[in-house]
Amino acid sequence: MAPEYIVLTAIGADRVGIVDDLSGALLTAGCNIEESKMAILGGEFAVIMLVSGPAAAVQSLSRSLADLGGKLHLRIDAKPTREPRPPAAGRPYLLEAVSLDTPGIVHSVTAILREANVNIEDLETDSGAAPWTGAPMFRLKAHLIVEPSVSIARLRERLMGLEQEHDLDITLTPVFEG
């Protein structure tokens, strides 16, 4: 029988052992972690996971999330989803942007990507102090899938305009296996 899938999210005060506790509970429930992203944001631990398992195990886990969350001191939610899709057709690229930390950078970059019909497979951002000066710096890193019909030259041109407009350093690099 085909497995069922849920996207599980959990957030709570950071502490040692959260991942062990959560992964152990999923294993005990008869479920498997297919993919996950975890981070500490401020003082909070946050995780998003694609979890699979036999229908009865996934449904039982979903019903027990309130109790599990209380036991682990996490707010846990789940949403049913489908089996992961095969990789999208297109060319993989890595986009990185670095600048002084100012509002609107994520929106400006993603608006250009949306307009070009470029899919964002993964995006992460962070901020911190620049070496030597201590100035507040911002970094964006995104894994993209660019459809064959998209002109890379035109995309680079739009990103270059954004670089100049917002004083960013943007790189767009093709990703190769091997």
Residue range 4-81, CATH number: 3.30.70.260
Distance of alpha carbon 141 from alpha carbon 94, whole angstroms: 7
Distance of alpha carbon 21 from alpha carbon 117, whole angstroms: 40
> What is the reported pTM?
0.83
Distance of alpha carbon 165 from alpha carbon 59, whole angstroms: 50
Helix (H/G/I), strand (E/B), else coil: 102? coil
> What is the phi-psi region of residue 120: left when phi exceeds 0, alpha when psi lies from -120 to 50, beta otherwise?
beta
For residue 130, the model assigns a pLDDT of 86
Q: Strand 32-41 relative to strand 44-53: parallel, antiparallel, unpaired?
A: antiparallel
For residue 73, the model assigns a pLDDT of 96
For residue 84, the model assigns a pLDDT of 85
The average pLDDT across 67-75 equals: 96
* Segments making up each domain of the chain, as ranges: 4-81, 91-174
The average pLDDT across 158-172 equals: 94
pLDDT at residue 178 greater than cutoff 70: no
**% of the chain residues with pLDDT over 90:** 84
Distance of alpha carbon 96 from alpha carbon 169, whole angstroms: 8
pLDDT at residue 76 greater than cutoff 90: yes
For residue 166, the model assigns a pLDDT of 86
Most distant CA pair in the chain, distance: 59
Whether the domain at 4-81 and the domain at 91-174 fall into the same CATH topology: yes
More confident residue, 1 or 80: 80
Average pLDDT of the chain? 94
Yes or no: is domain 91-174 CATH 1.10.1040.10? no
Distance of alpha carbon 169 from alpha carbon 23, whole angstroms: 39
CB atoms closer than 10 angstroms to residue 7? 15
Distance of alpha carbon 26 from alpha carbon 7, whole angstroms: 13
**% of the chain residues with pLDDT over 70:** 99
